[in-house]
Every structure is written in structure tokens, then in C-alpha cells.
């Protein structure tokens, strides 16, 4: 039996905790990705991205990453 059919939730570790802390393995937010998220939120105002105000946070993360802030986080 392969790992993906072990009764877990499709390989995702929970909801809402993607890319926060932990050991690497995540893709940094880019301005292109943030733009796609904002566009999606505009097209579907009742969708998850729009309802959770994720689009502005994505744009902020992209600006931080592209300015050299990387994954330093807020501590």
C-alpha cells in the first residue's frame, strides 16, 4: 500500500497552517502567485481566499520575499 492511501486527509497536514514555521519544504510567495490569488478572490468574493482576507496577506508576503526578507518570520 502506498503512503497516499493511509486514511489521512489527502496528504495535507491540517488546514490553515501551510508554510508557517517548521522545517522548510514550502515555496515562497511570489508577486505572480499573489496576483493570481487576488484575481481569484475578485472573481469569487464568497470563496475562501476572499472571505479570509488571504489575498492582501499573500501580496504582503510576496513583497517581503522579493525585498530579501525571505522566511525570517515575525518573532
For cell 514550502, the residue is 26
Q: What angle do CA 9, 14, 73 make, to 5 degrees?
A: 145
Q: Determine if the pTM surpasses 0.75.
A: no
Q: What is the pLDDT of residues 16-32, one digit of tens each?
A: 445 455 556 789 999 99
Q: Show the beta-strand stretches assigned E in 1-75.
A: none
* Tens of pLDDT, residues 45-73: 898 888 888 999 999 999 999 998 665 55
HSE-up of 47 (CA within 13 Å, CB side)? 13
Amino acid at each position: 500500500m502506498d503512503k497516499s492511501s493511509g486514511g489521512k486527509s489527502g496528504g495535507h497536514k491540517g488546514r490553515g497552517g501551510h508554510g508557517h514555521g517548521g522545517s522548510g519544504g514550502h515555496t515562497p510567495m511570489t508577486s505572480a502567485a499573489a496576483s493570481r490569488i487576488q484575481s481569484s478572490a475578485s472573481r469569487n468574493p464568497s470563496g475562501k481566499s476572499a472571505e479570509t482576507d488571504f489575498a492582501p496577506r499573500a501580496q504582503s508576503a510576496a513583497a517581503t520575499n522579493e525585498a530579501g526578507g525571505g522566511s525570517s518570520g515575525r518573532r
